[in-house]
Amino acid sequence: MAASVYVPPFERQQREAMKDTRMHESLVQRCDLGLAAARTRHGLPRVRSKGHTSRVPSLMSLLVQREQRGNLTEPESLALQESFLPFGSNSNFFEVDQLHARLYCGEFTRDGRQFLVAGQREDILVYDTMTWKRVHSLPARDVNWTITDAHFTPDGNNVVYSSISSTVRMVSANKEIAFRLGRPKRTISNRGRIVRDYAVWCLGINAMGTEFLAGTGSNSVVLHDMTTNTTVCHLMGHTDDVNAITFVDGPFYSNVFVSGSDDHLIKLWDRRMMSETNARPQGVFPGHTEGITHLSSREDGYYFISNAKDQTCKLWDLRKCVDEEQLLHVPPRYHWDYRWEEYPGYASSESLTPHPQDQSIMTYRGHIVQQTLVRCYFSPMHSTAQRYIYSGSADGEVYIYDVLTGAIVEQLELDSQGLTRDVRWHPYLPMIVSPDFFGKLCVWQKDPSL
């Protein structure tokens, strides 16, 4: 019998408290049959009620009911789709392209019809996701080491990308625009050097496609208007590189966002209350003990997740933050460089001790955050009701967690898979795509021939 995974006391408390959260309530209402299907698939005990063991309808049974009734309930529909998710025997791997360069970014359009990849190449490739044929090779200018972030605009017609430069660019098949970000108000770096140019590590585009946010190597957050090509404000709100940024107030609004930094903090901002003269966040989310590498929103106005160099992914509730004036100064536990050193906490039980003001509501462990800014996301609403969290990993695998229990429900792995920095789940189809540092573009799905 396999040994049980040790869960620190604080994280056990989080798992117990999860039962009383809005997240738990919404998932139980939406996908109760889906949860039962997961229990069966992973060999966990079935739920007993009033002396009877619950039965999970088979795929054939659900299809028969759909024909008889004309439709399925939402939980039944989710259970039907779960039969095709790339888990277990369905997790078939297909290498759709080999690009012979490190791939740092990937993203689907909102309708899932196209997928982009970018990295240490002087172009951004766009694929048709039905055939996985290249449909565009968009030029990338001034790529210093790598493209650090790339996103489709909301309409899917353009790609906005950044590099280790203070110029962000938008490109499509027939145009290119350069957005030169304004210089930060403070021009002295942490090392005492004058800042004339700075890296942009992350981007976030608003719902209308008219503005973008940039997290920079000058410890700042930049808001830039794409319609007028002017920098609206340059917020010096962190004390180290800003590696992650995302809007969190839903898919149709773009006023509230969070930023994550190597200063270990996540800060909450409101677009309507920002100014350079008063760069004060509306709240702070302490909990991580190492730098933040990625942030992703559930787009429900309540929850978002973060990846960090302390080797954890954490789930946060927007309503549970602290005022910046109440924040305790907690020095870093370890002095290490995640780009080439192993995390010192692996050899120390201190790494399992929570931050004294930890405001997160769940913690997920298993994946490895080293060498690069590894990313994490919620699974799609359409096919899973967002009941999973998934992350890339420095060991080349894709880790998928149950959002409610913190358990690893699947690990997608290859014998020769390079570091996986970014990974994306198709918004509608049971398909996961993982570009990696070996230059492989990998697709995981049920074998279409079966």
> Does 114 lie in the same domain as 42?
no
Report if residue 1 sits inside a domain: no
Tell me the average pLDDT across 168-188: 84
Residue 89 lies in a domain: no
Domain assignment present for 240: yes
Of 82, 117, 143, the residue that ends a domain is 82
Number of domains in the chain: 2
Instruction: Write out pLDDT tens, residues 74-95.
Output: 777 777 677 788 888 888 999 9
Identify whether 2 is part of a domain. no
- In which band, very low, low, confident or very high, does the pLDDT at 191 lie, cut at 50, 70 and 90? low
Query: Quick one: 78 and 99 in the same domain?
Result: no
The percentage of the chain sitting over the pLDDT mark of 70, rounded to a whole number, equals 88
CATH number where 193 lies: 2.130.10.10
Strand-pairing partners, residue 137, are 125
- Quick one: pLDDT at residue 195? 55
Given a contact cutoff of 8 angstroms between Cβ atoms, the answer to whether 332 and 350 are in contact is no
Q: Which residue has the higher pLDDT, 62 or 131?
A: 131
Q: What is residue 56's predicted lDDT score, i.e. its pLDDT?
A: 47
Give domain status of residue 359, yes or no: yes
Say whether both 119 and 73 belong to one domain: no
* pLDDT score of 44: 42
211 and 360: one domain? Answer: yes
Q: 67 with 184, same domain?
A: no
Question: pLDDT band for position 220 (50/70/90)?
Answer: very high
Please report where in the chains the tokens 């994280």 appear, as a residue. 11
Q: What is the pLDDT of residue 50?
A: 36
CA dihedral for 439, 380, 387, 90, sign (positive or negative): negative
Residue 40 has pLDDT above 90, yes or no: no
Lowest-confidence range among 19-23, 307-311, 362-366? Answer: 19-23
Which letter does DSSP use for residue 188 in this model? B
Specify whether 359 is located in the same domain as 411: yes
State both tokens at 166. 């203070």
Q: In this predicted structure, what is the pLDDT of residue 147? A: 98
Average pLDDT over residues 103-109: 98
The residue-averaged pLDDT of 191-202 equals: 75
* pTM across the whole model: 0.90
Average pLDDT for 214-227: 95
For residues 114-127, average pLDDT: 98
Higher pLDDT, residue 174 or 89: 174
Q: In the predicted model, is pLDDT for residue 338 greater than 70?
A: yes
* pLDDT at residue 214 greater than cutoff 70: yes
Q: Is residue 87 part of a domain?
A: no
Which of 82, 109, 131 corresponds to the end of one domain? 82
Domain that includes residue 355, residue range: 94-445
Which of 144, 179, 145 lies closest to 159 in space, CA to CA? Answer: 179
| Cβ atoms of residues 198 and 232 within 8 Å | no
| pLDDT tens column, 393-438 | 999 999 999 999 999 999 999 877 789 999 999 999 999 999 999 9
Reduced to 3 states, what is the DSSP secondary structure of residue 347? helix
pLDDT tens digits, one per residue of 271-294: 888 777 777 899 999 999 999 999
If asked whether residues 68 and 207 sit together in one domain, one would say no
Same domain, 62 and 162: no
